[in-house]
Amino acid sequence: MAMWIWYFGDYELYHHLKLHMRRDEYDYKFPPFWRLDDCHHNVVFHRAFSLDKPGSIQVWARGTGMLEVDGKRYPFDGREIALSAGEHRIEAKLMSMELPSLFVTGAVESDPTWDVCAYDGKWVKADGDWWRQKPEDDPCVFRFQYRRLHPVSMEALEGGWLYDYGEETFAEVCIGNWDEMPADEKVDAPVHLRFGESRAEALSDEAILQVQLNRGDPALISARAFRYVWVSTDMPLTAREEFLPLRPRGSFRCSDERINRIWDVSLRTFHLCSREFFLDGIKRDRWVWSGDAYQSYLINRYCFGDEAIVRRTILALRGKDPVGSHINTILDYSFYWIMSLEDYHMTTGNDDFIRRVWPRAVTLMDYCLQRRDGHGFAANEGNGWIFIDWAEMDKEYAVCAEQMLLLRALEAMQHLAEIVGEDGSGYAALFAELRARVDEFFWDERQGAYIDSFASGRGHVTRHANIFALLFGYAGEKRDRILQNVLLNDAVTDIRTPYFKFYELDALCQAGRQQEVMQRMLDYWGTMIDQGATSVWEEYSPDEPMEAQYGMYGDQFGKSLCHAWGASPIYLLGRWFIGVTPTSPGYATFDVRPEPCGLDWFEGNVPIGKWHGEVHVRVQDGVCTACATVDGGTLYWKGKSVQLERKVVVQLA
């Protein structure tokens, strides 16, 4: 079956570049502050093949150039080109300021078996999209779906109208009452619009997203985040939500309605932030951040199970060689990118993708290793921003949490090397050396915890490095002391962002503290929702008044009220309460270890592997019922275990 094809990774780079040109605040554009790589613009596609009988082909292209079939040249105009039986050779030489891409149908068809070269002497297999199987499917246009939105209320305020759409959305708006959104319609008088994720923002002159339309301007305004819109005219406002058509394959329902609401709001948040790639949020940045994306890959595992968006995001973030800076300029984000490859492989079992990106993993890791200090630590010496989290952390010189991530990335490189048949012993040796030095320099025996940094002499302890030590299995015999002295110690500063609560609650669940995690979800996410959140916020402080909740980064309404890193309850409920996790790549084998946590009942689905299977689990009255649509699972319940066979319902009491 024919598909549009392009140079491997170019589709992602092209749409990544377009996406990062869209961020706007107030009356200006806000471009990223790191290098963004572009796709190749001058490529040649090649295919040699043999026909048993005469046939023909038709060829279309995005760009200019020529087609050579057995040495004869043709334009890219879809004409029918006759082919005799026997050997043939096709070359398509193509140039475009956008995404050079090719579509061939007939006796031979365009697909990933074609070779492509960017005139550098290196031929690679092409990439393509099975959803683009018609000549009119333009690869330069990312395809979304749309649905009409209707406000739940309209209120005359401040000389205009305030529209409330009832929940957070990402949508186009149009001045006028048209069933379809005509791009060529113009406004016949000045119109001012303020978009707000909160009512207060939409009614404030400090709203981050504002649009001033003058007479003759297009009436259609590109999609953006809001719940509320204030518009200065009494002409009707039409809204149309723009979304990626992802079908939730994961689900969770239980006897506690607040937990159900947390799942629903988290899923809504995550879907809104899942677009061309996994975005951080939909109002302010709308950028692709590696740390945010790493959590999104794990969340996706328990709801959409969509491999394509993970692959797109990984390729877009990495860009091209040579490496010129850390991903997003952040040291920890380079490590997350390497770790993401191992998680991707465990989820999908896709060896071919790992082989294709392996050279980029090697060059990125080389970049990181070449910038270590004399102790072998990843340190902040002008080599990148150390983020870890928005926290009062001692970040002087080498930071312990960064070393934990470097250790984990080195482990990932060992495993990736095995997949591609390379020697990973060098990474293993570096891991062993660094592991010993982390304990030597960062472990504080008196406090029974890892300190942030040794350089300052402060001996400051935060939760972050200690969480990683537990989560990655580096704590060893220190595990119980870290739990008591740090994670369960109220004297250690609490984590306030959903971003790092992801890791903290994951580590607590790993330590068997699911009951406490359930309560923390209710206290944090539940309270946020009780205060009116329809999507999860970038950061939340339950003890702050509402009027102070919206500010961040020096802006009165700078905080994102729809942030993907807040959707971690999807992961936590799927991984630790339904209890499903792969134990070999692509869910060839997987465990199901349900944990009811005092709930009267719960049930849920978890996507399983690349073949679009699923496992269903229900717990009620002390009985666990499970059924998987694929083989390979093992159900564990109350000290018993049973193998799950395809579509066979099993029960354990």
Whether residue 179 is predicted with pLDDT greater than 80 in this model: the reply is no
Q: Tell me: the pLDDT tens digits for 608-648?
A: 976 679 999 999 999 999 999 999 999 999 999 999 999 99
Whether residue 356 is predicted with pLDDT greater than 80 in this model: the reply is yes
d(CA 300, CA 274): 9
pLDDT for position 457: 94
d(CA 568, CA 498): 8
Please report which confidence band the pLDDT of residue 185 belongs to, taking 50, 70 and 90 as the band edges.
confident
Whether residue 381 is predicted with pLDDT greater than 70 in this model: the reply is no
In this predicted structure, which of 68-72, 153-157, 605-609 has the lowest mean pLDDT? 605-609
In the chain, domain spans: 4-129, 145-243, 580-652
Mean pLDDT of 208-221: 94
Q: Tell me: the pLDDT tens digits for 409-432?
A: 999 999 999 999 999 999 999 999
pLDDT for position 383: 64
Question: CB count, 10 Å around CB of 244?
Answer: 18
pLDDT for position 607: 96
What letter would DSSP give residue 225?
E
User: Where in 451-608 does DSSP place strands (E)?
Assistant: 580-582, 590-592, 601-608
Mean pLDDT of 335-357: 97
Give the residue among 333, 223, 316, 231 at the shortest CA–CA distance from 272: 223
Evaluate whether 210 touches 193 at the Cβ level (below 8 Å).
Answer: yes
Q: What are phi and psi of 88, to 5 degrees?
A: -140, 160
Q: Which amino acid is at 146?
A: Y
Please report which confidence band the pLDDT of residue 107 belongs to, taking 50, 70 and 90 as the band edges.
very high
pLDDT for position 543: 85
Q: Which residues pair with 434 in a beta bridge?
A: none
pLDDT for position 180: 64
Mean pLDDT of 340-366: 97
CA atoms within 13 A on the CB side of 345: 21
pLDDT for position 183: 65
pLDDT for position 130: 82
pLDDT for position 384: 76
Q: Does domain 4-129 have CATH number 3.30.750.24?
A: no
pLDDT for position 332: 96
CATH number of 580-652: 2.60.420.10
Q: What are phi and psi of 31, to 5 degrees?
A: -75, 155
Residue 281, token pair as written in the block: 């949020």
Q: Tell me: the pLDDT tens digits for 17-70?
A: 999 999 998 888 999 999 999 999 999 999 999 999 999 999 999 999 999 999
**In percent, how much of the chain has pLDDT > 90?**
92
Q: Tell me: the pLDDT tens digits for 496-505?
A: 899 999 999 9
Evaluate whether 21 touches 97 at the Cβ level (below 8 Å).
Answer: no
Whether residue 567 is predicted with pLDDT greater than 70 in this model: the reply is yes
4-129 matches 145-243 in fold: yes
CATH number of 145-243: 2.60.120.260
Q: Tell me: the pLDDT tens digits for 123-142?
A: 999 999 888 889 999 999 99
pLDDT for position 45: 98
Evaluate whether 310 touches 297 at the Cβ level (below 8 Å).
Answer: yes
Please report which confidence band the pLDDT of residue 544 belongs to, taking 50, 70 and 90 as the band edges.
confident
Helix (H) or strand (E) holding 526: none
Q: Which amino acid is at 361?
A: A
Residue with tokens 């992801």, as numbered in its chain? 502
Q: Mean pLDDT of all residues in the chain?
A: 95
d(CA 8, CA 36): 17
pLDDT for position 346: 97
Please report which confidence band the pLDDT of residue 379 belongs to, taking 50, 70 and 90 as the band edges.
confident
Evaluate whether 95 touches 64 at the Cβ level (below 8 Å).
Answer: yes
Q: Tell me: the pLDDT tens digits for 283-300?
A: 999 999 999 999 999 999
d(CA 244, CA 296): 15
